[in-house]
Every structure is written in C-alpha cells, then in structure tokens.
C-alpha cells in the first residue's frame, strides 16, 4: 500500500519541489506568462483531449459537476459564518476557504490515483470550480462584474460536452495537436505551484491554520454529504472526495494580490492548507485505494 501511495504522490511532490527550489534560486520564472498559457491554452486542450479519449458517461460527468456545486455552496455558507464570527473580511477570505486547488494539485493526483477515468471526472469538478472562481470569486474581490468576461473563455466546454454526449471523435490531426498542447499543462501547473509557494509572504499562522482546517475538513464533510445524496460510487465517489480536500487555490492569492484584499492573510491560508493537505491526502488515499 505504501508503494502504491508513493507512486501516486511522488510525481506531484517532485514537480512541486522543482518549482519551489526554482523560486528560491536566482533564475527568473515567468509565472504570470506560464499561468496564462496554461489557463488559456493548456487547460482547454486538456479538457477536450481527456474527454475525447476517456470512456465515461455523460451522467457520471454531470453527477460529479453537481456534487462539486453542492460542496462549494455548503462550504461557502459555513465559511461566511466562521469568517464573520472570527472578525475577518468575507470578501478577502471567502475564496481561499471555499475554492480548492483542483487544477495544480487535484488533477495530477486524480490521474495518478484513478487513471484516465479519474482525470476525466476530476475535470468536471475543476470546470465547476474555475467557472465559479473566475466569475463569483473575481466579482467578490473586485466589486466589479469583471468575472463575467471569463465566461467567454469557457466556450471550449461546449466542445467537450458535445464529444462526451455524442461519442464523436476529432479528426486525427486535431486530436494529435490538442493532445500535444495538453501534455504541458499538468507539469507546468505543478512547477508553477511550487514557485508560487516559495514566494508567498504570510502572517497570522494560527488564524491561517484554523481557516485551512475549515477548507479541508469542511470540504470533506460536505463531499461525504454530496456523494451520499447523489448515490455516487466507485471512481466518481473517490474523485469527489479527493478533490474536496485539496488546499486553497493559489489563484485566490493572485486575486487577493491584484485587488489588494489582504493578500498576506490569503497567502497564509494557501501555505498552511497545502501543508495540511500533504498530511490529509495520503490518509484519504489509503482508504480509497
């Protein structure tokens, strides 16, 4: 079991460590440039490529997406109460507590733990998370409706859902091109995560630990409720549970920095929840595998 667990965790840890030590070195890393290429090119291609190759049902994809929605709604309601009770600012901290790092960390783990089917289902979770973060999360922090512009970038979802529902296949040259572009996404996500973690300045560790426990523990609690209500089993259930305990999304820190929404507090949640997830993920994988 330990060998299987190491096979799942090692690629994620190695790639993240490369980014961390790169960030600590004197060699520049164009994190913003890489992030834009990953989100605008790599991630859409990864979605289309994975769904076109994976053998999953449209119902399974939709069930995972619905479970993700229920988890985010439940976690958000609880987080608002906790943040207000603790005297924190909801606009600054809510995104960090609610939205997990389903991209940089969740997708690779689901791929290595549950194979191509796991990655395809994890993408359903990721699509819901990114749509909510890029719309509601951005609007929450910016006081503007700028998040609606990001919805235009989600048009590729239509292509992915068409492939999923119709069983159609892409022409060979398009399929090969999309697969090639998708290939750089996960490694660059993990390396960029490591670079980001190496450069975060944090404050208020005890408070950060408390909100991190809410991010991981609250996510897992609502995930158990969601899989029970929807009757999810097998890989779909495992993916929902694993994605729910991912640490706070690094993108939440980037938004806090951009809109000056207490970035140090958000950075503390990102770092503390990442460390906490490194302990929680192996324990959950032992149960799931």
59 is a domain residue: yes
More confident residue, 52 or 23: 23
Query: Is residue 22 in a domain?
Result: no
Task: Say if residue 243's pLDDT is above 80.
Answer: yes
Element housing 198 (H / E):
helix 185-198
The answer as to whether 27 is a domain residue is no
Using the predicted structure, report yes or no on whether residue 161 has a pLDDT greater than 70: no
Q: What is the pTM of this model?
A: 0.77
At 147 the pLDDT is 45
Least confident of 12-21, 44-53, 120-129: 44-53
Confidence of residue 239 (pLDDT cuts 50, 70, 90): very high
Per the model's pLDDT, the better-predicted residue between 288 and 186 turns out to be 288
In a domain, 95, yes or no: yes
| Cα–Cα distance, 237 to 227 (Å, whole number) | 6
**What is the spatial distance between Cα 103 and Cα 63, in angstroms, rounded to a whole number?**
19
Distance between CA 168 and CA 130 in Å, rounded? 26
Q: Which among 24, 144, 119 has a CA at the least distance from the CA of 64?
A: 119
User: Residue 228 sits in which domain range?
Assistant: 2-16+33-288
Q: Is residue 25 part of a domain?
A: no
pLDDT at 148 over 50: no
Q: Is the pLDDT of residue 157 over 60?
A: no
> Which CATH number belongs to the domain containing residue 238 in this structure?
1.20.1530.20
Q: Determine the Cα–Cα distance for residues 115 and 235; give it in Å rounded to an integer.
A: 9
Q: Is residue 21 part of a domain?
A: no
Beta-carbon contacts of 238 under 8 Å, excluding residues fewer than 6 positions away, are 113, 114, 118, 288
What CA–CA distance (Å, rounded) separates 113 from 201? 32
Question: How many domains does the chain fold into?
Answer: 1
Residue 149 in this model has a pLDDT that exceeds 90: no
| Residue 201 scores a pLDDT above 80 | no
Its sign, for the CA torsion 159, 163, 169, 175, is positive
**Confidence class for position 71, pLDDT limits 50, 70, 90:** very high
Q: 1 or 243, which is more confident?
A: 243
- In this predicted model, what pLDDT tens digit does every residue of 6-20 receive, in sequence order? 776 778 788 889 989
- Asked whether residue 219 is domain-assigned, the answer is yes
Cα–Cα separations (whole angstroms), residue 150 to 41, 50, 83, 145: 14, 22, 27, 10
208-226: string of b/e by CB count within 10 Å (b at 16+)?
bbebbebbbebbbbbbeeb
């Amino acid at each position: 079991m330990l060998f299987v667990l190491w096979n799942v965790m090692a690629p994620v840890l190695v790639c993240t460590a490369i980014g961390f030590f790169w960030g600590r070195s004197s060699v520049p890393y164009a994190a913003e440039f890489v992030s834009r290429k990953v989100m605008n090119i790599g991630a859409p291609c990864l979605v289309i490529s994975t769904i076109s190759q994976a053998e999953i049902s449209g119902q399974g994809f939709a069930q995972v997406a619905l479970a993700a929605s229920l988890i985010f709604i439940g976690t958000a309601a609880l987080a608002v109460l906790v943040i207000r009770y603790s005297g924190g600012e909801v606009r600054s901290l809510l995104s960090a507590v609610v939205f997990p790092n389903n991209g940089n960390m969740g997708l690779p783990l689901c791929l290595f733990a549950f194979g191509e089917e796991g990655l395809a289902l994890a993408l359903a979770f990721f699509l819901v998370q990114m749509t909510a973060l890029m719309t509601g999360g951005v609007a929450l922090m910016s006081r503007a409706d700028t998040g609606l512009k990001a919805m235009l970038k989600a048009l590729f979802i239509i292509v992915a859902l068409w492939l999923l529902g119709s069983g159609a296949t892409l022409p060979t040259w398009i399929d090969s091109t999309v697969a090639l572009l998708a290939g750089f996404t996960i490694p660059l996500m993990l390396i960029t995560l490591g670079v980001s973690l190496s450069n975060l300045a944090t404050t208020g560790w005890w408070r950060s630990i408390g909100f991190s426990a809410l991010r991981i523990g609250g996510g897992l609690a609502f995930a158990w409720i969601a899989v029970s209500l929807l009757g999810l089993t097998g890989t779909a259930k495992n993916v929902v549970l694993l994605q729910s305990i991912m640490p706070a999304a690094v993108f939440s820190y980037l938004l806090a920095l951009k809109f000056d929404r207490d970035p140090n507090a958000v950075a503390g949640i990102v770092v503390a929840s990442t460390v906490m997830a490194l302990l929680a993920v192996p324990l959950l994988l032992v149960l799931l595998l």
